[in-house]
Structure 1
């Protein structure tokens, strides 16, 4: 899920300083800071970690709940609900994790290993049909068979051996598995409370209990604002510097800029021309991310093949996009053109330290002549007139990108018509799940720190109906045959990316995002990440003037 940070969050801080005084007594000296308001470019859809859809969900859920592990400000895994890093068996297939004994839910129930076992079994239960169940299916023993209805949920390879011990069995060694556990899909849930709430669980802030640094207040589904309040029952509450955090949904960069200049926002996401204009502003900051913008190419819609089933058409479109122009002149926020599915600076060769993108090279660079050759072949097979729908989210920058792609591709390819539709993010994501689209311009952030997190998008069974036996075989070899052979696994993943992106144009990669913001100099502790939740709030605060 995935996905430069497209959501920024806000807070109000009251810092309490305890100092000694005469007589041996302690007094609390309260230093109040002015309120802080930050923004999210789209709505929060749910507080049920099983149903998470998008950036705001991941960010808020990571603030309100706590998994076994979290990320520090250098993207390194640190124990959270777990007491220590896992003990891993010699074959890499069994993980034993000890939990903290002082973790509580906001209703005072203890957080136990059974809470994790329950949440993961709920996640993989096929009757629920959760989007992110694939993360469980890809990793844990028997999960895939359970998701297909071939085995019972009780056979999932996870077991609470006592209140503070969780044993996890994987279907094969997964060198990245610990990083998966920082993703909200693997957060705990209190079975008694969830079952008491029934279908209302996660739909409003009062229908949830929390085990993370904050609790959520003043929210129900469809609301455009919500608050986070410091969770006094959280085991590490003394390290949480913010008492209150406030969100407002702001979808247009121009609106965000105006609110920032008026003092109503303390961090504002800026894109396009506004980002370019503000690059010399002392409040301007740009953060690297592992998020890419790309176009999903759906090959079957409502049980009927789309024109994108044609490989020549897919290659024409992929080679016909001038990414340099689009990124530098249309997006214009410091993002970079990207020539592969795995982003630069995300993961390195475990033996040599060479970055994946550097080693894999550039795939599908703009080539007008080659694009026109493939277009001619596509027209021979599909006819002289080809019409495609392009779905984008109603975020201002994506609408602008969609319109630019529409104009440039229609100009390059005679006979091509592209219809652009901008929809709310949740609506667009739901349509994509149902494969009810032709092309979908969207973003992606890896769920965990490994190339296969992104490459799995094109494995057979995806919502864009791309299927390639050679590609699947390469991913299977990387996951199974070479699971413990780092050199061969790495080479196989590079080969898989080439097969999916260059040889068959399974999707069109556009750019690697840079998070560009205007930030009040008083704001400290903003931690951006390249996987899991793109932003964490535990350390954020507003420094007093």
Structure 2
């Protein structure tokens, strides 16, 4: 998710649910459906795709709007507003994309190439300061210079050739670029409507215009529930399975379980002990995800270095966490310990097909003796008493995880104090963006299908103040020097992960999520995604009894 943000056991582990398939047999097509009752682990903050903040935003925005490409049930890219896959120049730097003429907004305006050009230029305009502008900055020609105030916004490498032809120029070849276009940052915006509502655009369901499968009703900022209604103006509305989906914000697994058993939820996320207890339940399902839980380590706070500027302290903490115990006994929801920033099953070697995690190996496994050695070195440099703040979100089991980490680390390291604060997700994410924290236990799902989507969060200039010239150089080589040499690019990305996670302990990886849910047997078509929005809603539905 800046990352904030992607793929969760609770965070995403929750927003239920999805599917992006469209090939159904005739009997399924003719089945009557009932309104779906789903849950979100935290509030929806905005319908403005430019200011998307978290998983609920990504999921709802992907339901209400549509970009050039979407994901099918196998995480493969398929045309959406685009009528076909892009035409890519021989050097990999120019993409020409044709838009389908039947795509319209819910106010009957056509969806045009200008809508994409407008949205992307607004995204990179430095006066707006949008969180996800880095996705544009990292890929499109002149975006970095525009972001730095050195070039005009109109020089961005995107151009509407005509109403239904978009040309995109990249600063260098990006093998993953098409997958980036499935992320809400790159969705279109209707300039007329955005300017009509001004600062109020996207703050409520009726101050927005839609081009996706659903419209959003009965929602305004701070509301804890909302409805998705089938958008009859959507070009592919005949293949949208649900007429109505009702969402409620449910932050506690015990509450979700009670609501499910009472018939007030059709899909309920369960975690920890509740997940364990329900594994024999016929309604229990566990789905893999590319979301990881990790700890951000901030090296500068309010203009002053934090203790985490010290590499020995970072290594002590990273090596001192018994992930097997934490994940299997505390989280206990089917998630697995993770020993690297790139999750299992997310991306494979382009030549051999070997999974990245398998080829890169395990990094920073629990080692009590090594952890204590680094702790003693850290104390010599920082003093015998070290105090750190640990911020966690109030979704699901994060409080429990934070308290467990607090207990185990302060027990292991004599002289360490950890103060845990539990905050609403939006509040915590805003504090993290302002670098106002020491440690932050949070989740992350890749924005697009490439290791750089995750590794890029540690490139110099990030909000945790980690800066490593060697790591930056490796990422630059993978992005530029080896952009079209896939073997060397792959090896360079493996080296970059090792440099950031093991050699310098830039952040602490905890686990890879499994989505554990109780699911009404009438609910069909649930599919999770490993990048972009964690799940899509176009084809999910509930049959009548």
Same fold (TM over 0.5): yes
Give structure 1 regions of 4+ aligned residues with deviation exceeding 4 angstroms.
29-34
The answer on whether the counterparts of 1:9 and 1:245 sit within 8 Å (CA) in structure 2 is no
How do 1:300-311 residues align onto structure 2 when only pairs under 5 Å count?
300-311=300-311
Provide the residue aligned with 2:526 in structure 1.
526
Residues 1:470 and 2:470 are matched in the alignment:
yes
CA, structure 1 residues 492+518, in 2 after alignment: closer, same or farther (shift >3 Å)? same
Deviation string 1:291-341 (CA, Å, 9 cap, x unpaired) is 000000000000000000000000000000000000000000000000000
Match of 1:218 in 2: 218
How far residue 35 of structure 1 moved from its aligned partner, in angstroms, is 3.8
Q: What SS does the aligned partner of 2:51 have?
A: coil
Contact 2:33 2:242 survives alignment (8 Å): no
Does the 8 Å CA contact 2:338/2:510 hold for their aligned counterparts?
A: yes
Paired residues for 1:111-130 under 5 Å: 111-130=111-130
Q: What CA deviation, in whole Å up to 9, does each residue of 1:444-489 have, x standing for no partner?
A: 0000000010000100000000000000000000000000000000
Local SS of the residue matching 2:329: helix
Instruction: Tell me the CA shift for residue 3 of structure 1.
Output: 3.5
Q: CA deviation at 1:32?
A: 5.6
- Secondary structure of the residue aligned to 1:401 is helix
Mapped partners of 2:145, 2:190: distance in 1: 25
Which residue of structure 1 lines up, in the alignment, with residue 135 of structure 2? 135
Distance across 2 between alignment mates of 1:30 and 1:179: 33
Give the Cα separation in 1 of the matches to 2:33 and 2:526.
17
Q: How does 1:23-172 map to 2 (within 5 A)?
A: 33-172=33-172
Could you tell me whether the CA contact under 8 Å between 1:205 and 1:219 is conserved in 2? yes
Correspondence list, 1:347-426, <5 A: 347-426=347-426
Is contact 2:39-2:250 (8 Å) kept?
yes
Counterpart secondary structure, 1:50: helix
Contact 2:7 2:446 in 1 (8 A): yes
Question: 1:442 is paired with a residue of what secondary structure?
Answer: strand
Any unmatched runs of 5+ in structure 1?
12-18, 20-28
Q: Quote how far apart the aligned CAs of 1:30 are.
A: 9.7
User: CA contact under 8 A between 2:14 and 2:40: conserved in structure 1?
Assistant: yes
SS at match of 1:528: coil
2:23 matched to which residue of 1? none
User: In the alignment, is residue 429 of structure 1 matched against residue 436 of structure 2?
Assistant: no
Counterpart of 1:263? 263
Q: Which runs of 5+ in 2 are unaligned?
A: 19-25
Query: What TM-score, normalized by structure 2, do the two folds share?
Result: 0.96
Which one of 7, 16, 38 corresponds to residue 14 of structure 2?
Answer: 7
Distance change >3 Å, CA 86–CA 420, structure 1 → 2: same
CA-CA distance at 1:6 after TM superposition: 2.5
Q: Matched residues in 1 for 2:34 and 2:184: separation?
A: 31
CA deviation digits over 1:139-198, x for unaligned, max 9? 000001000000000000000000000000000000000000000000000011101110
Answer whether contact 1:527 1:539 (CA < 8 A) is retained. no
The equivalent of 1:15 in structure 2 is: none
Q: Which residue of 2 aligns with 1:201?
A: 201
- Provide the rounded CA distance (Å) in 2 between the counterparts of 1:473 and 1:314: 22
**Contact 2:59–2:536 under 8 Å retained in 1:** yes
Distance 1:377 1:30 in 2: 68
Per the TM alignment, residue 7 of structure 1 is displaced from its structure 2 partner at its CA by 2.9
TM-score relative to the length of structure 1: 0.96
Deviations 1:492-522 (A, max 9, x none): 0000000000000000000000000000000
Please give the alpha-carbon distance, in whole angstroms, between the structure 2 residues aligned to 1:434 and 1:136.
Answer: 21
Distance, in Å, in 2 between the alignment partners of 1:222 and 1:408 is 36
> CA separation in 2, counterparts of 1:230 and 1:71?
19
Secondary structure (helix, strand or coil) at the match of 1:396 reads: coil
State the match for 2:294 in structure 1.
Answer: 294
- Residues in 1 aligned to 2:35 and 2:135: alpha-carbon distance in whole angstroms: 38
3-state SS of 2:417 partner: strand
Query: Whose relative contact order is higher, 1 or 2, with alpha carbons under 8 Å and at least 6 apart?
Result: 2
Assess, with a 3 A threshold, how the Cα gap between structure 1 residues 31 and 371 changes in structure 2: closer, same or farther.
closer
- Residues 34 and 541 in structure 2, CA contact (< 8 A), matched pair in contact too: no
Q: Is the 8 A contact 2:68 2:81 kept in 1?
A: yes
Distance 1:292 1:484 in 2: 29
